[in-house]
Amino acid sequence: MKEFFKNLKDVFNALTKFQFMRFCVTGSLGVITDAVIYHVFLWLLHVNAGKDRTTADTILLFILPVFGYLAAVIQNYLVNHFWTFGKETENQRVSFQLFLKFFAVSLFSLIPRYAFYTFLLIFNNITPDLANIGGIAAGMFTNFFGSKFVVFRFKNEEPKRIEPKDEN
């Protein structure tokens, strides 16, 4: 059994050496957070997701993904900052300004996410949970490239130095 876990750890370490794979692992954690919060709200509010749903249920089906999304964005920012893009951010602190950039990229990624979610939910009549997962997957690529090239791109930047003034 010990050998099994050692092999599993070796496989995980090999896969996560690649930044995109780390991003996918981080994103998967975000998907779990997002989906769990979404599903808990569906359950707590007794939303009828079936074909006989009311207008209020339908409205809730389009509002509730936002709560899971927000929790996942915060979680993913922190994990991406310290782990996925750790080499790029080793001299950068977690900051509200950097979070806002990450949030903006994530908001932009909502476009493909909601488009695919709506397509699956309305035109293919699949369950809301599957439509939500499909939408999350659709926004993943936009989110990765935005994170890599807009948010976490510090590696080649030199730290700014303050030179002492020459008083002569």
Please report the pLDDT score of residue 160 as a whole number. 47
Assigned domain for 94 exists: yes
Q: Is the four-CA dihedral 132, 16, 100, 104 of positive or negative sign?
A: negative
* Cα separation, 122 vs 23, whole angstroms: 30
Number of domains composing the chain: 1
Q: At what angle do helices 128-146 and 96-118 cross, to 10 degrees?
A: 140
Q: What share of the chain is helix, strand, coil (3-state, %, to 5)?
A: 70, 0, 30
Higher pLDDT, 2 or 161: 2
Assigned domain for 49 exists: yes
Assigned domain for 163 exists: no
Assigned domain for 27 exists: yes
Please report the pLDDT score of residue 164 as a whole number. 64
Assigned domain for 3 exists: no
Assigned domain for 16 exists: no
Assigned domain for 72 exists: yes
Please report the pLDDT score of residue 26 as a whole number. 94
DSSP state of 124: S
Assigned domain for 82 exists: yes
Tens of pLDDT along 159-168?
445 566 666 5
Domain membership of residue 143 as a residue range: 23-151
